[in-house]
Chains A and B, each alone.
Chain A
């Protein structure tokens, strides 16, 4: 047992006591600083480049909320972080496939070589019909963001096919909410108006704060944790939109027009290259009503539609595997894991092979 203050042999005089107190305080401060330093060093490897100033040839995101993965992005000025790399070398002259979507496409939680794009590339090359895949994901974003980016993406990449990966959040009331960079208004004739939002407007102060915080891994981690803790109990944006929809009849009416407006607008933006991939937001064995609606709308408008719901459910039953969730999350909850990406990638490749084999160059 450490000596307690009461075990001291003789009482100290005034100056000696003050000196001892000063020394103890000094040691205490050193102790706190040492702990901070150790945490700073320990957290350094997990800091994303997003918060660091300066250009990068490859942007790295280290995720530790869902598993532990390192994601690399090519900052080509398109999308939020740029093109999500696949870990495969591009094949010169091979046609390009564009995959656009939300956080499921950004896929921070899986390695580059496990992304759906990487799977498509590997399968296509194994079949001697090589493809280069470009993946652009916007975490938390919806259809208005994909539409706003469509022009620049097509102009820069000239893809042969453009897959837009959707789920129920992307084409519900959430697309009308002002909580994202882009949202939209849907008129009664299903025409849409894209509106640039004010979400997380960069002020000089905030910018300085983020840059300053970004210099310390510990400060950054604490900053983010405070954000997570303060948002405790508030529903996620998709759920919030659903709640609002239940209380706002006008919003509910407008939200009901979103699926058709989405199909029309995506068709207009991406043209004949477009095919919509529907990946349900949560696992379920039955097809969501929204998926059925979207499928019939696509059929009406002549837009190619691919559902991966059945493949995901089949894999779960046949192989007892979960396509979502990571080793540090609840089983089956969260973003698609490597298994989910593999299934979606295989389905996209199967679709491309079956539907467009005639137009694919063979080596």
Chain B
């Protein structure tokens, strides 16, 4: 049951109606939990047991940690909670990867166990882990209601592909009434429409071109391969951020706020900047629970760079049980470490970051090209396939089929213009340049607000949504045009969300 399906729409309408008629907050919470379990069981009912394991273990561990004053006991319960989650993840996600590598090292025949990866296991184990660690660090009180805790772990909007919401963000919202409001519904519908647009109009359209080129890159010309890589950069962004938008929108209608996950990542001017904008909930998770947990000697700067590299190597492994993912993560880790080292070196010499447009453009271009090149490793099925692709991109294997995919040429300028509008809109409302707002006529302000809402400028998103949804001429015109565009030009093939595999 994916968000872009008739079955999900039916399911969600029933949930909303149920929440509407439920007499109290507690009823609504229980209804949400049952709906979440139903949502997960619709894929494979037996895997509800997998979902239940971290819920029960971490629930008990956190209470024991909170109850105990003895540091050793607390540490033991923490270890129990963390180990159980990691073992669960390791068994379902990495067993075959380990077996294959052992077979390669030992020269024995490779063994393959028939293990089906539970949907969203990487996401719900991380949610559960963060809760136990937060309780251990005394940053969060343990949750004493199993219902509430279970709802936190298996809350259906973010269960399959994030955003990775923290217990400290989710559990306090349980005290809300969870009653729908017209305003929240409008904002939620807008977010869902935005997500559907990204998924059907961009991501799925790009997949049509990307899949065959990545499957046999040796057949295609270098220019075609480059265009496929650019198309993939748009596909994965719009696929994943589209899913996040839908999850945030669905959750908003229910009455729970989920954190933002993207902020125009392809405008990043350095790898560090990129990871502040891409999959924000994962970046923050890795920083808070992995990077800060690694040993560091502050007198040795290289310890920080080493830890950044290790964090990203593990981030690569989290994304998939394959060396291509590990290599992808490793490259990003190295880039991050290099970026930090360069900034520190410049700071030591008293140099401030250049504000020149040319330098910023060069930094942006270098970052985007780096991200695209690493996407090749992320998307390719194997190292030889990735190397073949990179050879093509480097011009070392000329010749091949030249294929110009027109939807890419149509989508690319729209994305570029939308990002430019997004930047202008963000600046027009920023406190430092608020004087500029007066120069924009009302209709332009409304357009900017819509663009800001659409392209992930976090601040003042709500007003953009509100302007768009108001039944006035411009709002109605834009909304009607938007809906018709998605209906008429969205891809119709049923493509699963890319991040479901993680």
Residues in A lying within 8 Å of B, measured CB to CB? 1-5, 24-25, 27-32, 34-36, 38-39, 43, 218, 221-222, 225, 228-229, 232-233, 320-322, 325, 327-333
Q: Which of B278-310 contact A (CB under 8 A)?
A: none
Least Cβ–Cβ distance between B312 and chain A, in angstroms:
33
When the two chains form their complex, are residues A1 and B463 in contact, meaning their CB atoms are under 8 A apart?
yes
Measured between beta carbons, the chain B residues less than 8 angstroms from A29 are 476
B446, closest chain A residue (CB): A2
When the two chains form their complex, are residues B400 and A320 in contact, meaning their CB atoms are under 8 A apart?
yes
15 example contacts (A-B, Cβ-Cβ < 8 A) are as follows A1-B428, A2-B443, A3-B442, A24-B471, A27-B471, A31-B474, A31-B480, A32-B476, A32-B477, A34-B473, A36-B480, A38-B481, A320-B399, A330-B209, A333-B212
When the two chains form their complex, are residues A225 and B487 in contact, meaning their CB atoms are under 8 A apart?
yes
- Which residue from B212, B429, B445, B476 sits with its C-beta under 8 Å from A31? B476
One digit per residue, 1 when the CB lies within 8 angstroms of any chain A CB and 0 when it does not, for chain B 375-402 equals 0000000000000000000000001111
**With A2-B443, A28-B471, A320-B399 in contact, is A327–B405 under 8 Å at CB?**
yes
B492, closest chain A residue (CB): A228
When the two chains form their complex, are residues A221 and B474 in contact, meaning their CB atoms are under 8 A apart?
no
- Extra pairs beyond A31-B476, A331-B212 (12, CB < 8 Å): A1-B429, A1-B448, A1-B449, A2-B442, A31-B478, A32-B477, A35-B481, A232-B493, A232-B494, A321-B401, A327-B404, A328-B406
Q: CA A43 – CA B475 in complex, angstroms?
A: 22
**With A2-B445, A39-B481, A233-B494 in contact, is A30–B212 under 8 Å at CB?**
no
Number of A-B residue pairs with CB-CB distance less than 8 Å in the complex they form:
111
Least Cβ–Cβ distance between A220 and chain B, in angstroms:
11
Q: CA A28 – CA B476 in complex, angstroms?
A: 5
Residue among A32, A43, A229 facing the most chain B CB atoms (10 A cut-off): A32
When the two chains form their complex, are residues A221 and B209 in contact, meaning their CB atoms are under 8 A apart?
no
Residue among B212, B400, B440, B492 facing the most chain A CB atoms (10 A cut-off): B492
Measured between beta carbons, the chain B residues less than 8 angstroms from A32 are 476-477, 479-480
Q: Which of B442-500 contact A (CB under 8 A)?
A: 442-443, 445-446, 448-449, 460, 463, 466-467, 470-481, 484, 487-488, 492-494
Q: Does chain A have a CB within 8 A of B112? A: no
Could you tell me the dominant secondary structure of chain A's interface residues?
helix
Measured between beta carbons, the chain A residues less than 8 angstroms from B494 are 232-233
Measured between beta carbons, the chain A residues less than 8 angstroms from B470 are 5, 24, 28
Q: CA A329 – CA B477 in complex, angstroms?
A: 30
B side interface size, CB within 8 A = 50
Q: CA A319 – CA B442 in complex, angstroms?
A: 56
A233, closest chain B residue (CB): B494
One digit per residue, 1 when the CB lies within 8 angstroms of any chain A CB and 0 when it does not, for chain B 206-230 equals 0011011100000111001000000
Q: CA A331 – CA B214 in complex, angstroms?
A: 12
Q: CA A329 – CA B493 in complex, angstroms?
A: 12
Q: CA A329 – CA B492 in complex, angstroms?
A: 13
When the two chains form their complex, are residues A328 and B405 in contact, meaning their CB atoms are under 8 A apart?
yes
A326, closest chain B residue (CB): B406
A21, closest chain B residue (CB): B471
Least Cβ–Cβ distance between A335 and chain B, in angstroms:
15
Q: Which of B415-459 contact A (CB under 8 A)?
A: 428-429, 437, 440, 442-443, 445-446, 448-449
Could you tell me the dominant secondary structure of chain B's interface residues?
helix
Q: CA A35 – CA B484 in complex, angstroms?
A: 9
Q: CA A325 – CA B219 in complex, angstroms?
A: 15
When the two chains form their complex, are residues B401 and A27 in contact, meaning their CB atoms are under 8 A apart?
no
When the two chains form their complex, are residues B477 and A320 in contact, meaning their CB atoms are under 8 A apart?
no
Q: CA A322 – CA B209 in complex, angstroms?
A: 14
When the two chains form their complex, are residues B472 and A24 in contact, meaning their CB atoms are under 8 A apart?
yes
Least Cβ–Cβ distance between B448 and chain A, in angstroms:
7
A38, closest chain B residue (CB): B481
When the two chains form their complex, are residues B472 and A31 in contact, meaning their CB atoms are under 8 A apart?
yes
Q: Does chain A have a CB within 8 A of B45? A: no
Q: Which of B167-198 contact A (CB under 8 A)?
A: none
When the two chains form their complex, are residues A28 and B475 in contact, meaning their CB atoms are under 8 A apart?
yes
A-B pairs with lowest CB-CB distance, top 7: A31-B476, A28-B471, A35-B480, A31-B477, A28-B476, A2-B446, A1-B445
A218, closest chain B residue (CB): B484
- Which residue from A4, A27, A232, A332 sits with its C-beta under 8 Å from B476? A27
Least Cβ–Cβ distance between A17 and chain B, in angstroms:
14
Q: Does chain A have a CB within 8 A of B342? A: no
**With A28-B473, A35-B481 in contact, is A222–B488 under 8 Å at CB?**
yes
Least Cβ–Cβ distance between B262 and chain A, in angstroms:
23
Q: CA A221 – CA B467 in complex, angstroms?
A: 29
Q: Does chain A have a CB within 8 A of B20? A: no
**With A4-B466, A31-B474 in contact, is A327–B443 under 8 Å at CB?**
no
One digit per residue, 1 when the CB lies within 8 angstroms of any chain A CB and 0 when it does not, for chain B 81-110 equals 000000000000000000000000000000
B471, closest chain A residue (CB): A28
Q: CA A229 – CA B488 in complex, angstroms?
A: 10
A25, closest chain B residue (CB): B471
Q: Which of B48-77 contact A (CB under 8 A)?
A: none
Q: CA A3 – CA B224 in complex, angstroms?
A: 47
Q: CA A328 – CA B446 in complex, angstroms?
A: 33
B474, closest chain A residue (CB): A31
Measured between beta carbons, the chain B residues less than 8 angstroms from A232 are 492-494
Q: CA A229 – CA B5 in complex, angstroms?
A: 10
When the two chains form their complex, are residues B449 and A2 in contact, meaning their CB atoms are under 8 A apart?
yes
Measured between beta carbons, the chain B residues less than 8 angstroms from A225 are 487-488, 492
Residue among A35, A229, A233 facing the most chain B CB atoms (10 A cut-off): A35
Measured between beta carbons, the chain B residues less than 8 angstroms from A35 are 476-478, 480-481, 484
- Which residue from B209, B460, B474 sits with its C-beta under 8 Å from A331? B209
Q: CA A355 – CA B369 in complex, angstroms?
A: 57
When the two chains form their complex, are residues B484 and A30 in contact, meaning their CB atoms are under 8 A apart?
no
B470, closest chain A residue (CB): A24
Q: CA A45 – CA B407 in complex, angstroms?
A: 19
Least Cβ–Cβ distance between A151 and chain B, in angstroms:
39
When the two chains form their complex, are residues B480 and A331 in contact, meaning their CB atoms are under 8 A apart?
no
**With A2-B442, A2-B443, A233-B494 in contact, is A28–B472 under 8 Å at CB?**
yes
Measured between beta carbons, the chain B residues less than 8 angstroms from A320 are 219, 221, 399-402
When the two chains form their complex, are residues A31 and B473 in contact, meaning their CB atoms are under 8 A apart?
yes
Measured between beta carbons, the chain A residues less than 8 angstroms from B488 are 39, 43, 221-222, 225
When the two chains form their complex, are residues B472 and A27 in contact, meaning their CB atoms are under 8 A apart?
yes
When the two chains form their complex, are residues B475 and A31 in contact, meaning their CB atoms are under 8 A apart?
yes
When the two chains form their complex, are residues A229 and B211 in contact, meaning their CB atoms are under 8 A apart?
no
Q: Does chain A have a CB within 8 A of B403? A: yes
Q: CA A225 – CA B404 in complex, angstroms?
A: 25
Least Cβ–Cβ distance between A49 and chain B, in angstroms:
20
Least Cβ–Cβ distance between A22 and chain B, in angstroms:
11
A222, closest chain B residue (CB): B487
Q: CA A329 – CA B406 in complex, angstroms?
A: 9
Least Cβ–Cβ distance between A325 and chain B, in angstroms:
8
Q: CA A34 – CA B401 in complex, angstroms?
A: 43
Measured between beta carbons, the chain B residues less than 8 angstroms from A321 are 401
Measured between beta carbons, the chain A residues less than 8 angstroms from B492 are 225, 228-229, 232
